[in-house]
Amino acid sequence: MKNYLDFEKEIKALEEEVDGLKSPFGSEGISEVDTNKIKITQQEINQKLKDIYSNLDSWQKTQVARHEDRPKASYYIKKIFSQFTLLSGDRYFGDDKSVTAGFGLIENKSVLIIGQEKGEDLNSRIERNFGMMSPEGYRKCIRLMKLADRFNIPVISFIDTPGAYPGIGAEQRGQASAIANSIECCMSLTVPNISIIIGEGGSGGAIALASSNKVIMLENSIYSVISPEGCASILWRDPKKSLQAAEAMKLTAKDLLQLGIIDEVISEPLGGAHRDSESIAEDIKHSKLKNLKSFENFSREEVYDHRKAKFLQIGRERGFNQSSNMGDKGLSYKETNYHKIRSHLDKNKIVYIGVGLILIVGLVSIIY
């Protein structure tokens, strides 16, 4: 049974009409299937999908990112990788079912695969805690990332979480420190680390695994520090203003690419990833291989420097250069001519103010 979003009501009606036309059993018994009518209706459905999905607002994209039928990490792992070996446990407390992790092959190349998993139905969603990771989940990922780094194996992460689990038990077991340690581990890797946001990328729960050399998003996925409902509740004390919050937060793939937060956007099939999961899995595989290949000639130190420079550059106009004079992996400011002039003026503003006053006094005395 297909699930439809609020803005897909017309599509639902048309698809139900097509299902009725495909059935040879009408109200008057057996009847011929009208293939021409089915073809026309299907074309109408495709046009409706194109019209709707090419004009989605930020809140509608949030709804698509959370769609029940959207492919999960487990699906992509099965379709993209071979010889996947599941590994469990953090060696401290236990295992966290909300994250799947293990080693596998992509085109005969060994990789560590990490996937946040929401679950497919009610029972699996409860078991997976709706994709909200606990401290033991992050510690499991840290353990495996360090193992991958030791054996020079790249890391590939699938991000899909509303956020880290905020329960009392998780806090007692050190949720905040587990997230911080996971971010630190991601940033310190000397192997390529590539993350893709396939649904929701919620807050620290997502960035704990998305502190990567390359951050990729599917077209209708989202990435934000808080949910639109949470933002609306805090700012306006009204969760109904989710649309307004979503627009202000710039949480879509298009917005984040323009802001330089992410590196690539993968287009989704017409109507979203859930309407053609085979196609989107193939596109993700192609993107992963392309990005892994881009690091083939990098030394391990260059991989580390690339990641660090990428994150230091976010939100800055200048960015950073490598400098042999600096001990911290050789990163220094890269100043534009504008910033050099501005810096010079700031340092010598008293001199320029004094010269300006002298000129003004001189002009006044000449005039009078």
Along the 368 residues of the chain, how does pLDDT read in single tens digits?
688 888 888 888 888 888 877 776 555 544 555 678 888 888 888 898 998 998 899 999 999 999 999 999 999 999 999 999 999 998 989 999 999 999 999 999 999 999 999 988 899 999 999 999 999 999 999 999 999 999 999 999 999 999 999 999 999 999 999 999 999 999 999 999 999 999 999 888 999 999 999 999 999 999 999 999 999 999 898 888 888 999 999 999 999 998 889 999 999 998 999 999 999 999 999 999 999 999 999 999 999 999 999 998 887 765 555 554 544 444 455 555 666 777 777 777 788 788 888 888 888 888 87
Element (H, E) at 307: helix 300-313
- What integer pLDDT is reported at residue 328 of this predicted model? 47
Residue 91 to residues 25, 100, 144, 236: CA-CA distances in angstroms? Answer: 59, 16, 11, 44
- What integer pLDDT is reported at residue 359 of this predicted model? 86
- Give the other-Cβ count within 10 Å of 296's Cβ: 7
Q: What angle do CA 341, 344, 346 make, to 5 degrees?
A: 110
Q: CB neighbours of 273 closer than 8 A, spacing ≥ 6?
A: 70, 71, 198, 218, 220, 280
CA–CA separation, 20 and 12 (whole Å): 12
**Range 13-36 burial, b when 16+ CB lie within 10 A, else e:** ebbeebeebeeeeeeeeeeeeeee
- What integer pLDDT is reported at residue 338 of this predicted model? 63
- What integer pLDDT is reported at residue 161 of this predicted model? 94
Q: What angle do CA 119, 153, 261 make, to 5 degrees?
A: 65
- What integer pLDDT is reported at residue 326 of this predicted model? 45
Q: From start to end of the chain, where are the E strands? A: 25-26, 29-30, 82-86, 99-106, 109-116, 155-161, 193-202, 214-218, 222-224, 264-266, 320-322, 331-333
- What integer pLDDT is reported at residue 117 of this predicted model? 93
